[in-house]
Amino acid sequence: MEKLSSTGSFGGRVERYKHASATLNCDMEFGVYLPPQADTGPVPVLWWLSGLTCTDENFMQKAGAQRLAAQLGLAIVCPDTSPRGTDLPGEHDDWDFGSGAGFYVNATQAPWDRHYRMYDYVTKELPALVEANLPVTGQRAVSGHSMGGHGALLCALREPERYASVSAFAPICHPSDCPWGVKAFSHYLGDDRNDWRAWDATQLLTDVDIQLPILIDQGADDPFLGEQLKPGALEQAAICAHHPLEIRLREGYDHSYFFVASFIDDHLRHHAKALGLIASAD
């Protein structure tokens, strides 16, 4: 790990690192917020997965999460959203596919399968690296926004034993049935829709044994709500599976980080409670 920067924030530090990823076959950068408690001992981690076009920096700069994270003693790790520097054919042509749009799946189709294995990167390689080199514990929570909300739901539904809690802001809930998801899955996973099921939260939700309660905030004025995000599909699946799910529709809010910043404290407290940190909050 090469440290790229370190900046003080509410008694802790916002840091950026670079490393060579064996999973993605390229160099990757990621961001970390270490609260002041990390100076005296390891702290739990909230893994934040960002959305389309984002990098590891969007959340750290726009969400305003550091103040409460410092009070709670909660670290935050922000991976990037796709491999970088691979320059595959067509990788940079569209904002909703390829660069910045890894969709947190393990690609099976060439040429994407050599690099686009974001699920293994954010659930295995990067956690192992962070937990071995930074003052954090193996206690994990996961959250994200939009495509990253889809990623957070995948992590919690595919491997719920790895996480204490899950939440999401405006997640892509049913990617097999929305233009963003169909475009990405067709390229990364192939045309057989049976292979998509393992990467679709709405379809996965009916099969899980460990049911982590899901908290979702969704802006009522989100322009992507009906066509792309489809929270109603996830809600219906949760009802059928008796899976605990809370979706809060927020009037007057859209898809932006103004929306995320408005409710991020609720999500931090949701995770802090599951991680046993809530007594540290005011």
255 catalytic per annotation: yes
Query: In whole angstroms, how far apart are CA 78 and each of 109, 115, 127, 142, 249?
Result: 26, 19, 11, 10, 25
222 catalytic per annotation: yes
9 catalytic per annotation: no
Catalytic residue among 115, 145, 187, 255: 255
Q: How far apart are CA 169 and CA 52, in angstroms?
A: 13
Catalytic residue among 222, 243, 267, 270: 222
For residue 162, give both structure tokens: 């790895």
Catalytic residue among 146, 165, 167, 176: 146
Query: In whole angstroms, how far apart are CA 223 and each of 147, 218, 253?
Result: 15, 11, 10
Q: How far apart are CA 174 and CA 182, in angstroms?
A: 10
Annotate 144-178 with b (16+ C-beta within 10 A) or e (fewer): bbbbbbbbbbbbbbbeeeebbbbbbbbbbbbbbbb
Look at residues 15, 22, 48, 29 and name the one whose alpha carbon lies nearest to residue 125: 22
**Active site positions, annotated:** 146, 222, 255
